[in-house]
Structures are given as C-alpha cells and as structure tokens.
Amino acid sequence: MRSIVKLFGKSPFSPLQTHMNRVASCIEKLTEIIELLPNKEMGKIEKLVSELCKLEHEADLTKNDIRNHLPKSLFLPIDRSHFLDILSIQDTIADQAEEIGILLTLRPLDPIINVQNLFEKNAAVFWSTREVIREIDELLESSFGGIEAEKVKTMVEATAKLEYESSISHRIWMKKLFAEGDRLAHPDFYLWMKLIEAIGCIASLSERLANRIRMVLELK
C-alpha cells in the first residue's frame, strides 16, 4: 500500500481522496452485483460479493493507515475532528456496500422490487458526493473561499436534490413491498425490507458526507 505519510506530504487531503477511491471501488463492484440480480445467478453473485468484501477490507486498511499516521503536529486547513469525521463517513459507505452485497447472497428473491432502479438513484447521490471530494484540493488552493467555494456549495445542493429524489423512490418501493407483503414468505419480506433500507443508507450517508464538506466551508 502506498505510504500514507508520503500522501500527507503531498497534500493534507490526498489521503481522504485515496480512501474515497477505495470506497468508489466498492460501489462499482456492488453495481456489477445488482446488474446480475435479474438472472438469479447466485454463483456469480457470491463470487462478486467475495470480491466486494476484499475491496471493503482494503478501504478499512487505508482508513486505519490514515488514522495511525496522522501526526498530531500536522497542520490541517480544517479541524482535525472534521477530517476524521469525513474519513469515518466515507468508510461507513464502504461498510454499507458490503452489507448490501451480503444480504443479496442470503437467498434468491422474486423481483417484486426493481432493485436496479432503486440502487441507481441512491448510487447517483454517492457519485455526486465523490465529485465534491475531488474538489477539495481546489478548495485548499482557494483558501476555502471565492468562486471555488461557491462551486462546491452548488455541487452539495445538487447532491441534496438527488438524495431527495432517492428518498421518494425509497418510499414508493416500501409501499410496494407492504402492498405485496401478504403473499411473501416471512424471510423474503424481512430480507426485502432490510435490503431497501440498506440501499437507502447509501444516499443518506453520501448526502451527510457532502454536507460535512459544506459545514467546513461555513466555518471558514
């Protein structure tokens, strides 16, 4: 693994961006898994979930490496606690992706819910937030002000709009689940509910992460 100490020397935010790349790999792998669901190819799904778990572990290792090598004397342009909070939220998104993958291996599910549609709306919030994280270096160069800060605030507002749209989709599919609930076996109903909630967490965590960046801007 690339030395986190060297990354800190390059930019105080490079480690966060490196970790976010690991998280993005988890979401990309989960997307592959979701795309296989209509075919119910459980063997292939389980193989991809195993790969997803390895990617999540790599994100964990990166997170721990950053925490272990964050010098107390290091000057950070943002509060140390905010830096670690951003890191923690990013890592929780990777954890959530792994949880969704594991849920999908428990048993084949009848397609009463359009998982692809639900996931795409939630994943869109994540990808929007990732773009916010990519802008951190530019924020640093502009001292967290000016045109760049306004650009990031606009991006955060766009992320919030995507999260709102995903929450509407979440409610629609929850209503669909309860409408179909009487004909479902109890394990299937429970698994569907857990799955819908877990996918929804991707969007809510992503919006929270974007808002944390905005909060840093407001404190400057």
CATH number at residue 119: 1.20.58.220
Tokens of 144: 């967290």
Q: Residue 142, Cα to own-chain centre: how many angstroms?
A: 27
pLDDT of 1 reads 45
What pLDDT score was predicted for residue 70? 76
Low-confidence stretches of the chain (pLDDT < 50) are: 1-2, 4-5
Let me know: does 148 contact 141? Beta carbons within 8 Å. Answer: yes
How many other C-beta atoms lie within 10 A of the C-beta of residue 98? 22
Task: Give me the number of domains the chain comprises.
Answer: 1
Q: Give the pLDDT of residue 71.
A: 64
In 3D, which of 2, 31, 32, 30 has the Cα closest to residue 18?
2
Full domain range(s) for residue 93 = 4-219
Is residue 163 a contact partner of residue 206, using CB atoms and an 8 Å limit? yes
Residue 109's alpha-carbon distances to 37, 47, 93, 137, 192, in angstroms, are 9, 18, 24, 44, 8
